A = this chain, B = another copy of it.
Amino acid sequence: MSHPRHRLDEVIHAPVRFAIVAALAAAEKAEFAFVRDTVEITDSALSKQAAALERAGYVKITKGYVGKRPRTWLSLTSAGRAAFAAHCAALREIADGALGADSGPGPSRGR
């Protein structure tokens, strides 16, 4: 007795964050600039959303240097990976129909 929509993760649902998490899920670890270019977002927005994802415990932000220049890397935590998987599963459940929620097919089925 619970529609899969309730299992959607609000943090991951936002289009931008969904894209970021998906990009990270595929990449294992990615540079800030790479994610920014992939998702097509401004520095500012990525910085904010990444911080939000970190706050949620879904992303780990690592800072370091490449040569003498500062770099930031983003990677999913295991919690983030799990949340993403769960979110996708919920999305699929919803998309594949609310079938099974009621008795079955056929329109105009009152209660």
Contact = CB atoms under 8 A, between A and B. Distances in A.
A85 B66 CA distance: 43
Contact of A33 (B23, B105, B107, B110): B110
Given A15-B13, A40-B3, A26 B98 contact: yes
A5 interface: yes
B16 A5 contact: yes
Contacts of A39: 3, 5, 98
Interface residues of A, number: 43
A19 B3 contact: yes
Contact of A31 (B6, B28, B110): B110
Contacts of A6: 40
